[in-house]
């Protein structure tokens, strides 16, 4: 396994190879921070599954508050942190969709697929619910926006989202593996045209078309 991780940095070099696959997003690792974020995801999920009236909920609040207070003493103000978290080269580890260090992120880990596509598989639980038993439409939009950005990254030219159009064809189910895939179709000057979709059991549940514009260099 060949990786180029930068110890202590919030960013790691992308396009690194682990066995057969070439990853385009940060890969969840063994770092204390990745581990803590994944434990936190577990609690968010456990709370969402807790039976109404469970007696231990108030006790949980105290324990969480103590942990938060302790952590707070070890942190920098957010604006100071902003500078440090962008150090290093490659993909960020804190993205709200793909970042293993971000509790909000499932995280969606994407790798190179055939024919210019990028893809990743993920299973979402109750914290991501919109309609009963289905993934929230906004979460689908967030997954797709992030996937399209990864496809741009693969194509070698990034940009900020200028327009995102999503067609929802059927509900995207919770607790079932879903595949999120994307591909940049073409680019013209600073514009990038990119498409993507969420696939469940071989059928597309949501499809996206995005226009991205590169920042002026």
Partner 1 sequence: MTIVENLSRPVSDVEREYAAALERDAAQLRRIVDLLQRVDVDDPLLLDVAEKLDALSEHLENPIDTVTETIRNPGWRHDPVSGVENAIAPPIVLEAGPDGTVTAEVEFGLPYQGPNSFVHGGISAMVMDHVLSAATAPQAGVIFTAQLTVRYHRPLPLFVPLTIAARLREREGRKIWATGEIVVDGKVAVSAEGLFIEPRPKAAQ
Q: Are 129 and 172 in contact (CB under 8 A)?
A: no
105 or 113: CB nearest partner 1: 105
57 vs 185 by CB, closer to partner 1? 57
Q: Is 18 in the site for partner 1 (CB under 8 A)?
A: no
Cis peptide before 107 (omega within 30 of 0): yes
Which residue number, 9 or 21, has a Cβ lying nearer to partner 1?
9
Instruction: Note the maximum CA span of the chain.
Output: 60
Give the nearer residue to partner 1 in terms of CB position, either 115 or 167.
167
Binding-site string for partner 1 from residue 157 to residue 186, where x marks contact by CB under 8 A and - marks none: ---xxxxxxxxx--x--xx-----------
Give the count of residues interacting with partner 1 (CB under 8 A). Answer: 89
Using CB under 8 A, pick the residue from 110, 149, 198, 199 that binds partner 1.
149
> What is the distance in angstroms between the CA of the first residue and the CA of the last residue of the chain?
35
CB of 200 to partner 1, least distance (A): 15
Site for partner 1 in 50-69 (CB under 8 A): 50-58, 60-61, 63-65, 67-68
Residue 216 burial class via C-beta count within 10 angstroms: exposed 0-12, middle 13-18, buried 19 and up: exposed
Q: Which residues pair with 112 in a beta bridge?
A: 118
3-state secondary structure 68-87: HHHHHCCCCCHHHHHHHCCC
Query: CB of 100 within 8 A of CB of 107?
Result: yes
Task: Establish if 101 lies at the interface with partner 1 (CB under 8 A).
Answer: yes
Closest CB 179 distance from partner 1, rounded Å: 17
- Shortest Å distance, C-beta 5 to partner 1: 11
Binds partner 1 (CB under 8 A): choice among 91, 110, 118, 144: 144
Rounded Cα distance between 35 and 30, Å, is 6
């Amino acid at each position: 396994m060949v990786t180029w991780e930068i110890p202590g940095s919030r960013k790691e070099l992308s396009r690194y190879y682990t066995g057969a696959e070439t990853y385009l997003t940060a890969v969840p690792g063994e770092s204390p921070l990745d581990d803590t974020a994944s434990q936190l995801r577990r609690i968010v999920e456990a709370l969402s599954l807790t039976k109404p009236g469970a007696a231990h909920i108030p006790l949980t609040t105290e324990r969480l508050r103590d942990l938060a207070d302790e952590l707070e003493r070890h942190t920098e103000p957010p604006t100071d942190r902003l500078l440090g978290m962008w150090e290093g080269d490659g993909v960020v580890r804190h993205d709200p969709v793909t970042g293993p260090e971000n509790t909000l992120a499932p995280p969606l880990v994407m790798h190179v697929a055939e024919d210019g596509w990028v893809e990743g598989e993920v299973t979402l639980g109750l914290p991501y619910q919109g309609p009963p038993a289905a993934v929230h439409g906004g979460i689908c939009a967030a997954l797709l926006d992030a996937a399209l950005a990864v496809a741009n990254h693969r194509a070698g030219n990034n940009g900020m989202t200028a327009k995102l159009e999503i067609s929802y064809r059927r509900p995207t189910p919770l607790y079932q593996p879903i595949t999120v895939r994307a591909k940049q179709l073409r680019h013209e000057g600073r514009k990038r045209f990119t498409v993507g979709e969420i696939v469940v059991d071989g059928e597309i549940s949501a499809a996206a078309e995005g226009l991205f514009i590169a920042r002026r260099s």
